[in-house]
Amino acid sequence: MRLPVLDRYLLRELTLSLGAITLVLLLITVGGAFTDTLNKIARGKVAGSLLLTLVGLRVVEALALLLPLSAFLAVLSTVGRLYRDSEMAVLHAAGVGPLRLLRPILGFAAALAAVLLLLAFELTPAASRTANRLIEEANRSLLVAGLDSGRFVELSELPGVIYVAELARDGSEFRRLFVFAEREGRFDLVTAKRGWLRIEDGSRVLTLESGYRVEGDPGSLAFRTVRFARNEVLLPELAQERRDPRALADWRELLRSDLPLDRAELHWRLSAAIAVLTLAVLALPLARAPPRQGRHGRFLLGVLVYLLYANGLAIGRQLIGEGVLSPSWGLWPLHGAVALLAWWLLRRGERIGARRLVG
């Protein structure tokens, strides 16, 4: 079935605007994720080889948050341009009002809602779980801390250096280690013939065998020397993201649970798809503007409306998790209020436009 010319025209313009706005927002998001990951790599908390993979997974997570805003701004931009270029005046003269634009806009929003459902319920949790798994696997290697055989490396958490003569290919074992660190004005020197890395209570622990430990104050002869058969050195903490475990959970597990926090997570995942529909309808009356009027005022108003809506959803999610709001109602009252506001503005704009045409 071939779409009408007006529908095809609007869908093309909406898609182009969505792509441009999403690209800009993604560049900002990717820049922040790239900087954050580089910082963790420099501190020895993430393997350098995971940089592009982790940034790519962060992009998948960001899309679920960015697409509703991108769609909202795309409708504002596209419909606002119709008003500024007097194309809406021509459509009014031909008997086509703003309500006629709802069909292509809702079709556009419905396609995005389906994508957001897939992202929120499947792809985003899977991306988060994959990122955590990759970091956990990489943290089992000394290579994450930047160690390399035959090279002095600065400690990331304390003033000092560490050196290993030989390092296994997977970074789990080493031979002939030397560590020099300064702790609260005291020197701490450790040597060992061999050792390996293990994970204990979420921390990386170096187990050392057959070595010496020397402690003391600089400028003093009061040094203590200890020979050990086995000793342990704590490396920087793991770089696991502080995520809510429910954000990583499979939606089927959440659906079977009656806990308020699990129900809140379900409503939150569903809210992105509902929000893109309500925001797309709300953008239609908000985009109404006299010809040749600047676009920046409408964009600022749109961002303000989006922030109020998004903050309301976040607050509602917290209240559901705390048991203040009923999980049965969830976030539907807020979605319904925004949808009613959008419909009222649409009908009001239709009546005002009709009176102007008659006058």
pLDDT of 117-152, one tens digit each?
999 999 989 888 888 787 776 666 555 555 666 777
Q: Express as a percent the part of the chain with pLDDT over 90.
A: 21
Rounded CA gap, 174 and 233, in Å?
Answer: 14
Q: What is the pLDDT of residue 141?
A: 58
Round the average pLDDT of the chain to a whole number and report it: 79
Q: Express as a percent the part of the chain with pLDDT over 70.
A: 76
- Rounded to 10 degrees, the C-alpha dihedral 94/97/102/104 comes to 20
Rg value, the chain, Cα? 29
Q: What is the pLDDT of residue 358?
A: 40
Element (H, E) at 85: none
Rounded CA gap, 29 and 222, in Å?
Answer: 53
Rounded CA gap, 164 and 175, in Å?
Answer: 6
208 beta partners: 195, 231
How large is the average pLDDT for residues 83-104?
A: 74
Is the pLDDT at 357 greater than 60? The verdict is no
Q: Which of 5-19, 37-51, 66-80, 264-278 has the lowest mean pLDDT?
A: 37-51
Q: What is the pLDDT of residue 309?
A: 93
State both tokens at 51. Answer: 């940089």
Q: In what order do the strands lie in the sheet with 223-234?
A: 153-154, 160-167, 173-183, 186-200, 203-216, 223-234
- Rounded to 10 degrees, the C-alpha dihedral 11/288/67/324 comes to -140
Which amino acid belongs to residue 182?
Answer: E
Would you place residue 21 in the very low, low, confident or very high pLDDT band (cuts 50, 70, 90)? very high
Q: What is the pTM assigned to this prediction?
A: 0.73
Q: Which one, of 243, 189, 234, 245, lies nearest residue 44 by Cα?
A: 234
Would you place residue 82 in the very low, low, confident or very high pLDDT band (cuts 50, 70, 90)? confident
How large is the average pLDDT for residues 284-312?
A: 77
